[in-house]
Structure 1
Amino acid sequence: MDFDFDEERFRITDSIDQTYNYKKIGDFQTEVLISRNSPIRLQKNIIAAIKAYSLGYKSIDYVYKKYSDYWFTDSDSLEETNIKNYMDVLDYVKNYVNTFLDLLENLDCNEKLGLIVSRAALYRLQSTFKSILLLMSRNQYLESMNLCRVILEQCSWAFCVYTKEHEEDIFSINPLNCLKDFKTFYTPAGRLNGFLSNRVHISPEVTPEYLQIINNKIIVTFNPISYRYDCYYSILSVTDMYCSTIEYIFRDFINKFYFVYKYEKEFVLFKEREFVTQANIFLDNVRNSINNEIHR
């Protein structure tokens, strides 16, 4: 049986982060789109030119000297830090997921039905990753974590069916019932499942996080700041899980390993995975930016 991929392959591309590569500067009359990496002095010169033009001045010198110190505030700096954190994680997740998508695409393992359907299930998760990253770029953290559960369930299911050879054995397995067996390989799955369940299920205990009463008015916060860290933790965790699962299931067809290794006769997770080490650095950066935002 051959495994054919759609010619219009769906990749996690740079289309997600175009909004973050540029920003608008100017005033209520005129705005300019400029790279976020542009020097601050250049950005201030552009703003001064826009404001000088609006005021009818022939030179930007007066406007620049009098007002330029007020144009970039602490709030702007915090926003830039948050964007940098997102871009760092976006690039990191994107590079790993795309690398493993390439691996799945080039595997030669079309003999067993279980391997074929596992491969298909894991391959299609690229759209789920892209959706999560897109939602994160819009600060939709709760919705992003819901989709992280989808990746957890699909990885669990792929793990449970890859050894099966008959259709009835494969499609009778419910993804919701696969976690117990999956934990025998990917031990963090149980903790991650509990974490996601606690965060995405709106219970009375977490109501104060998103609902407040101020001056007799009900104020709803759709994405509390506390969800930001949880969301970054979730996407990095499921990325580690995704790559680990692919290496384990298709270990007989892979020559180089980054997430699993052979211990005696079994393949097991590396305890010190390079991916996790770098992910923890990203999470520290996110935590620090949240603390700075809270205490500004």
Structure 2
Amino acid sequence: MSNKLPEFLYEYFPGTYEHLNVYQKLSDDSLYTKFKISHLRSEIKNENQWRITEGNIVKFDGQKMHPIHQLLNGGENEFVWRSSRPRVGDFTGGYHGDERIDVDQKSKVTFYANNVAINMGTNIKLTPCNSFYYHQFSTMHQTGTGAADSSKPGFTAISGNPVDSFHEKKTSFEKNGFVTYNKITWVAATPINKCFFGIFSINKDITAEGKNENDQKVIFNENGGNKLTTNKQKIWMKNEVKGISVACDAKIIKLPFTPILNTFIWDNQNYHKYYSEIKATTTNPGDVWETEASISFSYNKEK
């Protein structure tokens, strides 16, 4: 029976908490990786966008999926940047808001199964397919000043929410993870403090240790420090007891300058968060940035 299970399945839930779940076959033991893609709308955060909000290993009983291990936490898992304008503390995009698909007429999001756009008019039950990705076009807006979180006291939004850039994001699900392509077209001269073109909020319970491309190794201890810091982008993490391993990577496709890059794991009590960073620079109107980041998981069961 298990050999007949589909490589991918997806399901769609409309309504207030609109989201899709995407499943990819992990093994012939009815195990799948699951990624939740949520439609997030908040006027406080100036957002109307879709992004990955959770990841899990699940077991399929033929009708329902049952969780086994959490892979990704609800933090940012795709792309953000922060300007270096005076008194700006919050990031722009993704979890942090100031990203919308309802401002510019070219903005939209489309989900594709077997390279065919999904009709999201009503609830979609578990449906098999051979491939899945989503493609979003959004505007990214100038972030306010004061507090480093738009929902906290002291934060002041910028009047009119001017657009800093257009964002094209394509997230494709593969290798029991996903690859996110980002294209940023700048419409305003924007001083950049940093851009995390690779960012994943990985559950600390499945990543006890890690190493980077320089073969530096670490046992994580949740002390809040940055570990495995390097100018190379690939980092591996694992928990041998749980039998789970993770590979994270990121790459520059196109930039109008030679970047200073920095990659590390933020080892804290909430998650082991992968960051691949483009350090400070300033953009010009018309500049185009293209990057890509990927994460993949493998599972050999608990030992």
Same fold (TM over 0.5): no
TM-score scaled by length of structure 1? 0.27
TM-score scaled by length of structure 2? 0.27
The structure carrying a bigger helix percent of its residues is 1
